[in-house]
Amino acid sequence: MDRIRIRGGHPLNGTIPISGAKNAALPLMIASLLTDDILILDNVPRLADVALLQRILGNLGVDVMVPGRRAGGSEESPQTLQLSARAIVDTTAPYDLVSRMRASFWVIGPLLGRMGEARVSLPGGCAIGTRPVDLYIYALERLGAKIDIESGYVVASTKGGLRGAEIEFPKVSVGATHTALMAAVLAQGETVIRNAAREPEIGDVAQCLIKMGAHIEGVGTSTLTIRGVPRLTGARHAVLPDRIETGTYAMAVAMTGGDVLLEGARAELLQAAFEVLGQAGAEIIPANDGVRVRRNGAGILPVEVTTQPFPGFPTDLQAQLMALMTRADGTSVITETIFENRFMHVQELARFGARIQLDGERATIEGVAKLKGAPVMATDLRASVSLVIAGLAAEGETLVHRVYHLDRGFERLEQKLSRCGADIDRISG
């Protein structure tokens, strides 16, 4: 099993290209089920989760093609996928695949909208909370679907197609919003989704659906209005840059010191996190070609942060911020309100010498003068990269085990960091 070895203490200087957003690429790939034409997606990241979803879609009958690289291109060039769901051959998404990635459950919306039926395993994914599917089921039932739970599968069907409805979520859910949106675009009549998630990735999917012929109003707001159409067409769409990858590398620069251009990043996607980094002592400079982050000389200042749905501070950057605050000059407080089990990285950060106390959803971090490298174990995607950030600043050598978690969400992480001066490499086997 692969490990990542880091010898800390090197500032980061240079350019890091930001990949396409995983959290947009996955639902965009799933949207290919809504049309029998070809959907072309540019700027798709090369990630384990993307490869797994290709398998899941392939089982359903989607032909996924990766055009040959252009002359002079390389594995580092942005990836283009051509997806054709001309003939859906199966409407079942099996347990052995869905259990490995939660987002694959979202196929239920397009399958139900286009085929009138779906049988999808209850999801799995990272162990960061229960994340039930009750809101997904609520939305589909509002659209007229009949839902049963049979032997660990959600079995959905509809007679005469889905019909537009009022859907008001009792709490914000990204996954439920994606599911309701993709189901509603082929429903008869008008659907209004209230208290919809406002994450940029949802807006990216909505913009792609509009290119495919969907009628959607209110993109970027908490109220989406969808007028169903009989069919969608093909389209070409570029995945927006990954704001979580952007924030992660920005925190790595803040942790180690240095000056890095995050090429292709869009500052407006990450205002809350950049404000926090500014409070912590980093300098954030939006530029035409990305976002420049630097911290030279000054120490890291403590902050108090509560995770919130967009446009608040993202839960997907909570672990990375905690790693940064282990070196702050003072006491920081991080409150996690999105997932109930997302502090599993705390015990691993303690192996570096970090001082962190937990009280329910609240973590208090007492900054220390130095961290010391240690062997650590990744527990989920975002926790694993927080250990990398700690290792970049720690004295001595750090070995991060179970890095397959990293491969789910970060493209070429070691190469991107090493080109900016980090002493980091992957040990295979």
CB neighbourhood size of 76 (10 A): 12
The answer on whether 172 is annotated among ligand-binding residues is yes
User: What Rg, from alpha-carbon coordinates, does the chain have?
Assistant: 22
DSSP 313: B
The answer on whether 66 is annotated among ligand-binding residues is no
Q: How far apart are CA 63 and CA 148, in angstroms?
A: 29
DSSP 78: P
The answer on whether 33 is annotated among ligand-binding residues is no
The answer on whether 349 is annotated among ligand-binding residues is no
The answer on whether 135 is annotated among ligand-binding residues is yes
φ/ψ of residue 358, rounded to 5: -110, 140
The answer on whether 114 is annotated among ligand-binding residues is no
* 3-class state of residue 96 by DSSP: helix
Is residue 126 flagged as an active site residue?
yes
The answer on whether 185 is annotated among ligand-binding residues is no
List strand residue ranges (DSSP E) for 164-268, in order. Answer: 166-168, 190-194, 215-217, 223-227, 235-238, 258-263
Please state the separation of Cα 296 from the chain's center in Å.
30
The answer on whether 96 is annotated among ligand-binding residues is no
Q: Which long-range contacts (CB under 8 A, 24 or more apart) does 352-355 make?
A: 352/326, 352/376, 352/390, 352/391, 352/394, 352/398, 354/326, 354/390, 355/326
The answer on whether 205 is annotated among ligand-binding residues is no
Contact status, residue 35 vs residue 62, Cβ threshold 8 Å: no
The answer on whether 22 is annotated among ligand-binding residues is yes
Which residue in 98, 126, 167, 385 is the catalytic one?
A: 126
Q: Which two tokens stand for residue 147?
A: 């839902």
In this structure, the strands spanning 153-157 and 146-150 are antiparallel
The answer on whether 370 is annotated among ligand-binding residues is no
* Separation in Å, CA 95 to CA 103, 119, 379: 13, 10, 22
Q: How far apart are CA 412 and CA 259, in angstroms?
A: 20
Question: 291: which strand partners?
Answer: 262, 286
The answer on whether 134 is annotated among ligand-binding residues is yes
Contact status, residue 265 vs residue 276, Cβ threshold 8 Å: no
Q: How far apart are CA 408 and CA 410, in angstroms?
A: 6
Q: How far apart are CA 402 and CA 247, in angstroms?
A: 22
The annotation places the binding site for phosphoenolpyruvate at: 22-23
The annotation places the binding site for UDP-N-acetyl-alpha-D-glucosamine at: 102, 131-135, 171-174, 316, 338
Active site residues: 126
The annotation places the binding site at: 22-23, 102, 131-135, 171-174, 316, 338
